[in-house]
Amino acid sequence: MAEIHKKMLAEVKDKVVFHEALQRGLTYIDSVLERNVYPTDEALDNLNQFDESMPEEPSSAMDVIRKLDHYGSPATVAQIGGRYFGFVNGSVVPSGLSAKLLASFWDQNTAMYVISPIAAKLETVVQQWLKSLFGLPEQTVAGFVSGTSAANLCGLAAARFRVLKNQGWDINQRGFHGAPPIRIITSKEAHSTVIKALGLLGFGYNLIEFVETDSQGRIRADLIPELDDKSILILAAGNVNSGSFDNFSEICLTARKADAWIHIDGAFGLWASGTKKLSHLTRGIEQANSWAVDGHKTLNTPYDCGIVLCSDKEALTSALHMSAGYLVLSDTRDGMFYTPEMSRRARIIELWATLKYLGTVGIDQMVYEMHERAKQFAAELSGIDGFTVMNEVVFNQVIVVCESDSLTEKVLGFIQQDRVCWVGGSTWKGKKVIRISVCSWATTEQDVSVSVHSFKSCLDKALGKE
């Protein structure tokens, strides 16, 4: 027996390193809600401790974990705490994080039922739950991917397949050369991941028919060009800056009459369907053909967790088709037919655990609480001379500006350096803005007030009042 085999077998049996990792993880959890949100300069400098040549000899598993924790934990961004408001990164609910820990020991590959029956079963169950929660057609199927970037790619690949197939063109067999044209229609404020997915699918940027938006970033229904059965219309449930929602009821009805394919990018906003007081925002989404949404944003599952939903099973599975003589297919669910990957970690485990833990009541309360904290943010900032809230806070996004672009950027830099909270910047309606995304179950009224105090202090500093 090789020495490395003996070493690993011994470490598996004595389990000391697993207990060590767990204890260090629990210690991290103890402090993450109160610590500085962004790593200190010292913590960032200490990342140089990882700069080394590839080791020649095996290391102690305990030494590996200790080094990772000692230099790695302080250099993490505390996005699972209550004062991270950047990039719509969600926190994690207890059951989801615990399930991911358990699933790490299982280390399942979800390609086929025969590889992981538990993953196939949970994917089947969660598919039903999501259809019910979002009010989608019964024939809808789901693929569990890394995030909305991949989900948009899958949904639009299904759209490409169906639009061409309806014109007698099988893209899997014949490719793009000589294919009938496809029209792509979307908002001028479509998310960059949508544009990226279109590029990967062979749709050039110059071919996209961009539509103007209103003052809140919603696509102008009256300016959408006449659609036909060669059209793919892409809408948004949650503008990445303002949080606004397109008018699905009106737009989808018209698009369906024209037999256009409708895809909805709902990365964080689709979860509004799960709240009684905000579900009006997503009214009409059931008329679409495909949807993309993240679990790791508003639902607060661990990273990474994305979902593509499609009412046309044949289009999705054909677009993501694969075959090989060694595959062992089942009469239930083989997950690889609903995603681009074959080998894929079982992210479904923590998604199931999160949905099971929260239930519809818990989802309603959690998501609506994020909306309440966003409204609080907007209200408190509006009460400070020097800040202007630019958007109607309909969901979880708040956009703030100062009196000039240069001052806005200066204040943003000071806020990030202050590390009390973390927010990002963006450009919206021709202005530099501070973008606040409330996307954590852990965010409290106190977290918002403390963060607003940091905003005020940093504005005073930028104006030379401190």
304-313 pLDDT per residue, tens: 999 999 999 9
Over residues 32-83, the pLDDT tens digits come to: 988 999 999 999 999 999 999 999 999 999 999 999 999 999 999 999 999 9
Domain boundaries, the chain: 3-78, 99-355
CB 156 within 8 A of CB 183: no
- Is the pLDDT confidence value at 466 over 80? no
pLDDT, tens digit, for every residue of 358-387? 999 999 999 999 999 999 999 999 999 999
Contact 333, 120 (CB under 8 A): yes
Structure tokens at 224: 């959408």
Instruction: Output the average pLDDT for the chain.
Output: 96
Strands (E), 289-448: 290-294, 306-310, 388-389, 397-401, 424-428, 431-437
**Distance from C-alpha of 456 to C-alpha of 461, rounded to nearest angstrom:** 9
Which of 55, 60, 58 is closest to 11 using CA atoms?
A: 60
Peptide bond before residue 304 is cis, with ω within 30 degrees of 0: yes
Residue partners of 35: CB distance under 8 A and separation at least 6: 78, 81
- Is 99-355 in CATH node 3.20.20.70? no
Q: What is the residue type of 114?
A: V
Percent of the chain with pLDDT over 90: 95
Q: Does pLDDT of 330 surpass 90?
A: no
DSSP letters of 79-123? Answer: TTSSSB-STT-----HHHHHHHHHHHHH--B-S-TTT-HHHHHHH
Coil, strand or helix: which one is 421? Answer: coil
Residue partners of 232: CB distance under 8 A and separation at least 6: 156, 159, 160, 163, 182, 183, 184, 185, 260, 261, 263
Do the beta carbons of residue 415 and residue 455 sit within 8 Å?
yes
| C-alpha to C-alpha distances, 107 to 69, 116, 138, 340, nearest whole angstrom | 22, 10, 31, 20
pLDDT score for 324: 72
183-207 residue pLDDT tens: 999 999 999 999 999 999 999 999 9
Amino acid letter at 272? A
What's the pLDDT band for 100 if we cut at 50, 70, 90? very high
For 370, 442, 443, the CA distances from 367, given in Å and listed in that order, are: 5, 11, 11
Residue 323 scores a pLDDT above 80: no
What mean pLDDT is predicted for residues 227-233?
98
Phi, psi (rounded to 5 degrees) for 148: -65, -25
Per-residue pLDDT, 300 = 98
Place of tokens 């934990």: 73
